[in-house]
Amino acid sequence: MTFSSDDEQWREYHVSPRYLAGSTFTGDPALRPLLDSGWVLNDDDLGNVYVNTPNQRVRLAYLPEGDDDALWKITAYSSDYATPRWLVTFQSGTPTEIVAGFTTALAAAYAEGPDSYLRHGNSALTALDAGTPLAAAGWSHSYSPENVVFQSPDHLAEVYLRRNHRDQTAEMRGHQERWLTLAGPPGNQWYATASSLTPQRLVTAMNTALTDPSPVIRYGYDLRRLPSQATATPVKPPMPTPLDIRRIQAANSRSTALPTTAAARPVTPSPRSPPAPQAPRSGYAR
């Protein structure tokens, strides 16, 4: 796509479904819920950003200069020197709004305490409940000994729930996962993962954000990266209010009204009569 003007590059579009919108390539919308909750932000010389809870029990890394294509890595710890209890990752192409759905839920869970951000549930059935938003959005599902697979109606997004045993160490290294999300057409996919002990409410928040039917905002220059299956609709300018209309009409009336003949005729001042001579004041000579 080429642009005839800078204005077109910055023109806003509604893009749907949101899982095909791609990243905004800025982490701010997903970092904001954490920073608003008092989490601490640091960065490094490469441009990577780290946001941690004041007690360091939950940590987020935003890694545009990371070692792999996982742009976001979020971990939680049960104690200061423990290995991570759970790991969630989002690949660089993940729509930022979906990451923001997760971080919003994470900020709320941390505010409630360890039972909310560390407890994952007690059974496979509880884990399956995290797929409720997918089923509610009309996604199909199928079962095999290895996976429960949820698929979007357009067949362009899938969520896998691994049913077999997962190795905790391998999960923390990013080599295995309990939940895997894949979205986009072949050759233009992004992924997200969640390990076995990720709290159900946080996985549910991921799936809720994934299936949110609301379009997201992208700009003209973003459209070149969209897959052909995505829909981009220009955002219409806001409708003027009745007060706006009256102001426009009044301004047009002032600018287009011709002056009347009387108003256009120059005004000639009337001649003044010479002043009458005044009697001299006492004490002054004429």
Q: H or E stretch including 82?
A: none
Least trusted range by pLDDT, from 30-34, 98-102, 163-167, 241-245: 241-245
Q: What is the DSSP string of 158-226?
A: EEEEE-S---HHHHHTTS--SEEEEESSTTS-EEEEE-TTS-HHHHHHHHHHHH--S-EEEEGGGGGGS
CA dihedral of residues 162, 163, 165, 171 (deg, nearest 10):
20
Residue 190 has pLDDT above 70, yes or no: yes
Q: In this model, does residue 137 exceed pLDDT 60?
A: yes
| pTM (predicted TM-score) | 0.80
Residue 263 has pLDDT above 50, yes or no: no
282 pLDDT exceeds 80? no
Mean pLDDT confidence for 213-225: 92
Which amino acid makes up residue 184?
G
- Worst-scoring range by mean pLDDT, 30-39, 132-141, 173-182, 248-257? 248-257
Chain mean pLDDT for the chain: 85
Q: Give pLDDT, residue 121.
A: 63
Q: Is the pLDDT of residue 4 over 60?
A: no
d(CA 261, CA 248): 26
pLDDT of 260 reads 47
Residues 143-169: what's their mean pLDDT?
95
Q: Which two tokens stand for residue 84?
A: 């991570």
231-234, strands of its sheet edge to edge: 216-219, 12-16, 231-234
Res. 244 pLDDT band, cuts 50 70 90 = low
Question: Is there a contact between 118 and 78 (Cβ–Cβ < 8 Å)?
Answer: yes
| Euclidean distance between CA atoms 93 and 125, whole angstroms | 30
**Where does the pLDDT of residue 127 fall: very low under 50, low under 70, confident under 90, or very high at 90 and above?**
confident
Cα 80 to Cα 19: distance, rounded to the nearest angstrom: 36
Q: Are 195 and 88 in contact (CB under 8 A)?
A: yes
